[in-house]
Amino acid sequence: MQPTVHDAVRPAPQPDPWMARHELLNQRVLEGNVDLVFIGDSITQGWEGAGKQVWDKYYEKRNAVNLGINGDRTQHVIWRLDHGNLSGIRPKLAVVMIGTNNSICDSSTQIADGVRTIVNRIKTATPQTTTLILAIFPRGRDASDDRRQINEEANRKIAELADEKQVHYLDIGDEFLAEDKTLSPEIMPDLLHLSAEGYRIWALSIESSLKRFMGD
């Protein structure tokens, strides 16, 4: 089913420095030797910051490329996929986590539509690639946070995209939370972006899935 056309599915670029990073990513994929890609926003881009040591330990040896750009919403990722971010590569696995920036202006259904469009773009660009969609990570201090609630509802809809063949869904959100569903500054200092410990949790939480889908 094709989603209704709205901002979350309508491809759109951002201005510099976003465009400069997009072009750098295109240059990297043109070099080839890419078996794993992470697609997302600033949380994904943060593998190059707070998450760098964890990235080097788990993903450098897997020929991984970080296709995360700060501030991205689903529509920006769609544009990037239409303009070179997957050109000429055939990764074994694409890990997708996107949508939290949409929650300021889009509904849960619209966010899920955007993720669906991204998954379809990946299928078209590189049909043999397996896609692992991660649930949008929790944000805000606790479960009463409005944008966390929007993301949680979006996650329920995003989960329906999994066919358990080429597209899989995994929710690791609880791994970041205390028993009372609160977020700790030790995990997400600004209650959105991950600390080094947060990236360690992310890597450990998806490692079994990566081994499965990449044939490690």
Owning domain of residue 177: 7-214
Give me the CATH number covering residue 113.
3.40.50.1110
What's the domain count of the chain? 1
What confidence tier does 14 reach under pLDDT thresholds 50, 70, 90? Answer: very high
- 2 lies in a domain? no
Contacts 24+ apart (CB under 8 A), 155-161: 156/108, 157/108, 157/109, 157/111, 157/112, 158/99, 158/111, 158/112, 158/115, 158/116, 158/133, 159/135, 160/112, 161/112, 161/115, 161/116, 161/119, 161/133
Q: Is residue 116 part of a domain?
A: yes
pLDDT (average), residues 25-42: 98
Please give the Cα distance from 165 to 40 (Å, whole number).
22
Residue 85 in any domain: the answer is: yes
Instruction: State the pLDDT at residue 4.
Output: 73
Domain contains 89: yes
Catalytic residues: 42, 190, 193
Whether residue 87 lies inside any domain: the answer is yes
Residue 1 counted as domain residue: no
* Per-residue pLDDT, 216: 81
Q: Is residue 172 domain-resident? A: yes
Whether 2 shows a pLDDT value over 70: the answer reads no
3-state SS track over 36-75: EEEEECHHHHHHHCCCHHHHHHHCHHHCEEEEECCCCCHH
126-184 pLDDT tens trace: 999 999 999 999 999 999 999 999 999 999 999 999 999 999 999 999 999 999 999 99
DSSP one-letter code for 101: G
| pTM strictly above 0.85 | yes
Instruction: Give the pLDDT of residue 148.
Output: 98
H/E element, 77: helix 74-82
| Percent of the residues in the chain that have a pLDDT greater than 90, as a whole number | 97
| Residue 194 counted as domain residue | yes
| Tens-place pLDDT, residues 108-126 | 999 999 999 999 999 999 9
Please, which residues bridge with residue 67 across strands?
39
What are the distances in angstroms from CA 51 to CA 140, 184, 211? 20, 17, 20
Contact between 138 and 151 (Cβ < 8 Å): yes
Is it the case that residue 1 has pLDDT exceeding 80?
no
Confidence at 3, pLDDT banded by 50, 70, 90: low
> Which two structure tokens, joined as six digits, stand for 208?
């079994």
Residue 92 has phi, psi (to 5 degrees) of -65, -35
Distance CA 107, CA 8 (A): 9
Q: What is the rounded CA–CA span in Å between residue 123 and residue 197?
A: 32
Q: Is the peptide bond before 3 cis (omega within 30 degrees of 0)?
A: no
